A = this chain, B = another copy of it.
Amino acid sequence: MSLRDRRRVIIGVMGSAHCDPAIYEQARAVGRLIAERGAVLLCGGLGGVMEAAARGAWEAGGITVGILPGGSDRESPPNPYIQIAIFTGLSEARNVINVRAADAVIAIAGGYGTLSEIALALKVGKPVVLLHSWRFESPFGEAGGVLRVAETPEDAVAVAFALLPGGDRSEHL
């Protein structure tokens, strides 16, 4: 095993802290598929889509990382499927870390926080896959990072891995 092999692929899943059951199940499936391909699941560590994705990854035996807005358990309790809780105390500025730390980002539904993460990811050149998420239109035909729309969890995860720098780096377990 080379030194490089130690580094794990990280897929970020972004979405709202509250979501309906249908979206929850889609996010859970996304988390499971990410773990089955051997990548680390990173999210904002809270409820809703974040919990569902972490749950799916944890149920499939994967590693889950939560980048929390608060500075402690008391300020922002992680969802129960987060194994590695990274408290930041940065509030919304932690959204930037969600995006910077991920090799690719999957946004599922989501509110304004998720929209900020989609925009930040495109700004810094990360591949973004949208699943039942925001639509937007630039005043000047902004080009920027790679943006794809997926219709299913399977499609979203396959596209995210295909867009990784250096190509698909799945390590099927």
Contacts and interface: CB of A to CB of B under 8 A. Distances in A.
A100 B71 contact: yes
Interface stretch (A3-11, A27-35, A152-160): A3-11
A86 B97 contact: yes
A156 to B, nearest CB: 14
A103 to B, nearest CB: 10
A48 to B, nearest CB: 12
Give the number of copies in the complex. 4
B87 A90 contact: no
Contacts of A135: 136-137, 139
A8 B84 contact: yes
Contacts of A67: 86
A69 to B, nearest CB: 9
Given A89-B93, A91-B90, A96-B89, A8 B83 contact: yes
Interface string A99-118: 01100000001111101100
A146 B110 CA distance: 18
20 contacts: A4-B80, A6-B83, A7-B82, A7-B85, A63-B63, A63-B84, A71-B100, A88-B101, A89-B91, A90-B90, A90-B97, A91-B96, A111-B142, A112-B119, A112-B145, A113-B120, A133-B139, A134-B136, A135-B136, A135-B139
**7 tightest A-B CB contacts, nearest first:** A136-B136, A89-B91, A116-B119, A115-B119, A112-B123, A3-B80, A93-B93
